[in-house]
Each structure stands twice: as structure tokens, then as C-alpha cells.
Amino acid sequence: MPPPIPPGVAAALSLLPERLLRARALIFAAAQTTQTAPLTETLKWGQPAYLPAGKAGTTLRLGATNRKPTLFVPCSTTLLDRYRAIFPTEFTYLGNRAVVLPASAPFPDAAFQQLAAMALTYHRDKRR
């Protein structure tokens, strides 16, 4: 179960598609399974952002693109290339920084949690 939402983050989430609450829960679940918890939950560029402990990975940000729920990762990573290779049809991708999530179809919980896990362990995995 994810922790309570900090007030500033809650205000930002209230302006975004409701599906991002599910994405938030899956990010926290991924942090537990990858041992990158506790996450720092804050705002970056006015959007909810999740930073793993110990610099194991990179920041995840939740937002919207054309009112569709979106996961943002830093464009300096290779995450979007890896995401596309593993999940070519489950998501829509924008350049090298965003994954557009299904707006109304069933939420791909397992696939999304794997995306989050890959980001949360990005630096740790590169060091291996």
C-alpha cells in the first residue's frame, strides 16, 4: 500500500487523469520489489515525481499529454528504447522521454510496474 500523498503532490494529482493514482501505487510497489524504497515523492515542474533511494535509479514523473496519462523519464537515459523493445504495443511512446498510458483500456499493471522498476534501478543496473 502506498504512503499517504503529500499535500502539494495531492493537489497536482487532482489536476491529472485519475488513472495516475493507479500508476502511483504501482511505482511504490516497484520500489518495494526492487529494494529502492523509500521513494522521495515531490513535485518537479509542477508534476508528481518519484526519486529512488540511494541513487539506484532515475526520477519518474507523472503528468498528462493531450489529457492522456503519461509517465515521463529523463531524456538522457536509454529507458524509452528499452521500453519500446520490451513493450512494443502496450504503450504509446513520445520521443525519448514519455510513455503515454492507456486512457480507458484496462490498465496494464504488470507492464507498468516493470517500466517503473527499470527506471528505479537504472543506475544500479548500469553499474553491473
Structural domain contains residue 48: yes
Structural domain contains residue 87: yes
Which residues span the domain enclosing 55? 7-127
| C-alpha span between 34 and 47 (Å, rounded) | 23
Q: Which of 5, 26, 19 is nearest to 101 (CA)?
A: 19
Structural domain contains residue 121: yes
Structural domain contains residue 2: no
User: What per-residue confidence (pLDDT) applies to 128?
Assistant: 56
Q: What is the pLDDT of residues 13-54, one digit of tens each?
A: 999 999 999 999 999 999 999 999 999 999 999 999 999 998
Helix or strand (DSSP H, E) at 42:
strand 40-44
| pTM (global) more than 0.85 | yes
CATH number of the CATH domain containing 115: 3.90.1150.200
Structural domain contains residue 37: yes
Residue 35 to residues 38, 39, 41, Cα–Cα distance (Å): 8, 10, 16
Provide the number of structural domains found in the chain: 1
